Amino acid sequence: SINGQMVLDSGDAGTSDWVRLQKGANVFQATYQSPPAGDAVVRLLWSSADHPAESIPPKHWTHLAADPELGRDMSMRRGRQLFAERQCLRCHSGGDAYHLGSGMPELAKDAPLLLDIGLRLRGDWMARWIENPAACREQTSMPRLFHGTKGPEQSRDVAAYLATLQLGALTNDRPVPDEEATIRLGGTLYTQLGCVACHSLDQSPNLQADQPRISLRHLRDKFHPPALREYLLNPSRGYQASRMPHFDLEETEAEAIAAFLLKQADPPPAPAPAGDPVRGKELAEAAGCIFCHPLPIAAKSSAPALADFGPLDSGRGCLSTEPGKAPDLGLHEESIEDLKRFLKSGLPSLKRHTPAEFAERQIAAHNCTACHERDGRTDDWTTFQHEVARWAPKKEEDHEGQPEPAQDRPSLTWTGEKLHASWVEQLLSGTREAPARPWLNARMPPYAAHAAPLARGLADSHGIPDSAPAHEAADPQLATIGRDLVTKHLGFGCSDCHGIGDQAAAAVFEAEGVNFRHTRDRLRPEHYHRLLRDPTKLDPKTTMPRYGDAHGYT
């Protein structure tokens, strides 16, 4: 219903009657129940004298955030997400019904492989991390396992044991160079790849973004220098769920970034007393480290099974606000209440996978808005341009005096409606042979583990089914007319800014456009027609001109 008027009910099929909106806010209310089987789609479009039917831009929507029922439901949803992110099933067995392939994809998330950690990380840093992970990184999912007066000593013992794990060898263990040219190249790459959007090199990270950035001042304390170079080459090695993007760096690039970061980092603190690796192994076994991390140890602890959560007092154990023997999750009181509410009544939802919600969770988890604008929110990379300028190369060093191509990254607002799901999956899996925007210094990293469900979820969030481009033959007569229209002497001069197959763009003025060879595979026809009708309506930053009138005619 719209403003109290019913416009579509369960007996209707297809499109509703037209509804005239009132000036200012309009109240929309939808009640929906899934069909017994199969998919169903509901889409809400609007039109006016100025434009045909189209999706309503997300920035025009708001909701009653203070609604009590919505508050309870959102609390349970947050609790469900926390339960999956914190990998509670690793310790609290839930049986086969809650494992991979039967519900939330996050339930199958792995934890870092530690079998070679002694080659990669310094023991003193590991001890500080184990003693209080949340103090080192606010958003960590690693719990605090050792409490009380013995906590620091126990943490050093476990770190001493982990330092003995040195399976294999580094691919390249030579020192990271400390040469000015290498460091300068690393600073250039740091700015071009957008590292500043997720990381800070300051003592106290600027928190203008929605998510706190991770400071990199501790890298000399954390990494053995050659291991930092190797980590940058392959961040997901031994940890597929890592949030650190894989930029497909050349070894010289990884070395340069490592040299730059190590130059900016603080020196390590004074060494702490050495721990006992024998006691550390015993403590790791008693703490159940093997439930999350593959380790050559036994499991000498257990936790209540998921089926036993109901009769338990949900304020005990991990959810207690008082220090005890259970792991300390480092959660705020509101998050603990969210988990309690979920545990009381929401466990069956772990078996359900909703692609649209999964896409939203992954956009937040991987901090996609650090690099991409979405729904009118400026990306974090742009927010921190003053920091980028500090490390960016001087203008005279850029492109031998030539102006740099525009570096605007595409908005995520219309992704699911704009792109074929098949293209998005290829992009996210890293299987595209060439980028659509090769002039960008930024690199789109792959997220192969979640490419398919994320592509499906982005489409679902717009009410769009999975789609792939149709490959029927084009009308020869229309193709001939279209070929003329993209030229400068017979049409609109599209070929000035857009390459056409192997033919490069002829005369780019401000920003190059995507090569036309990608158009059919990338763009859904509906979005293509909307874009040509009024480019700036979809993307206010675009330099694409408008050639048609309000009705799309030229």
pLDDT tens, 8-35? 887 666 677 778 889 989 999 988 887 8
Instruction: Name residue 393's amino acid.
Output: P
Q: Mapped to the 3 state alphabet, what secondary structure does 144-178 carry?
A: ECCCCCCHHHHHHHHHHHHHCCCCCCCCCCCCCCC
How high is the pLDDT of residue 205? 53
Among 152-156, 211-215, 234-238, the least confident range: 211-215
Instruction: Tell the residue number behind the tokens 């509804």, with chain if given.
Output: 19
**Of the ranges 193-197, 324-328, 389-393, the best mean pLDDT one:** 193-197
What 113-116 contacts at long range (C-beta under 8 Å, 24+ apart), as own/partner pairs, is: 113/238, 113/239, 113/293, 113/294, 114/162, 114/165, 114/293, 114/294, 114/295, 115/165, 115/167, 115/168, 115/238, 115/294, 115/295, 115/296, 116/165, 116/166, 116/167, 116/168, 116/238
The span from the CA of 503 to the CA of 508, in Å, is: 13
**Measuring CA to CA, how many Å separate 218 from each of 138, 399, 423?**
14, 34, 39
How high is the pLDDT of residue 207? 54
Would you say the pTM of this structure is higher than 0.95?
Answer: no
Q: What's the residue count for the chain?
A: 554
Which tokens sit at 525? 């026809």
The proportion of the chain whose per-residue pLDDT surpasses 90, expressed as a percent, equals 50
462 in Cβ contact with 544 (< 8 Å): no
What digits encode the pLDDT tens for the residues 103-138? 888 888 889 999 999 999 999 999 999 999 988 888
How high is the pLDDT of residue 169? 86
What digits encode the pLDDT tens for the residues 22-72? 998 999 998 888 788 887 777 888 887 777 888 888 888 898 889 999 999
The span from the CA of 467 to the CA of 460, in Å, is: 11
How high is the pLDDT of residue 542? 87
What digits encode the pLDDT tens for the residues 447-491? 888 899 999 999 999 888 887 888 788 899 999 999 999 998 889
The span from the CA of 266 to the CA of 268, in Å, is: 6
For residues 310-321, give the mean pLDDT: 68
Among 40-44, 155-159, 250-254, the least confident range: 40-44
User: At 202, is the pLDDT very low, low, confident or very high (cuts 50, 70, 90)?
Assistant: confident
How high is the pLDDT of residue 332? 87
343 in Cβ contact with 309 (< 8 Å): yes
Instruction: Tell the residue number behind the tokens 């190059």, with chain if given.
Output: 512
How high is the pLDDT of residue 45? 84
Among 79-93, 137-151, 161-175, 460-474, the least confident range: 460-474
What 495-498 contacts at long range (C-beta under 8 Å, 24+ apart), as own/partner pairs, is: 497/543, 497/544
User: Of 73 and 42, which is predicted with more confidence?
Assistant: 73
DSSP letter (8 states) at residue 204:
S
Instruction: Name residue 233's amino acid.
Output: L
Instruction: Say how many CA atoms lie within 13 Å of 507 toward its Cβ.
Output: 5
Taking 80 as the threshold, does the pLDDT of residue 547 lie above it? yes
**Is the sign of the CA dihedral 367, 71, 4, 62 positive or negative?**
negative
Instruction: Name residue 15's amino acid.
Output: T
Taking 70 as the threshold, does the pLDDT of residue 222 lie above it? yes
What digits encode the pLDDT tens for the residues 203-221? 665 555 566 789 999 999 9
The helix (run of H) or strand (run of E) holding residue 187 is helix 180-192
For residues 415-430, give the mean pLDDT: 94
**Measuring CA to CA, how many Å separate 206 from each of 201, 210, 383?**
10, 11, 10
How high is the pLDDT of residue 31? 87
> How open is the CA angle 137-133-325, to the nearest 5 degrees?
150
Residue 514 DSSP SS3: coil
Taking 60 as the threshold, does the pLDDT of residue 401 lie above it? no
How high is the pLDDT of residue 553? 56
Which tokens sit at 464? 């769009």
Q: Parallel, antiparallel, or unpaired for β 214-215 and 51-55?
A: unpaired
252 in Cβ contact with 172 (< 8 Å): no
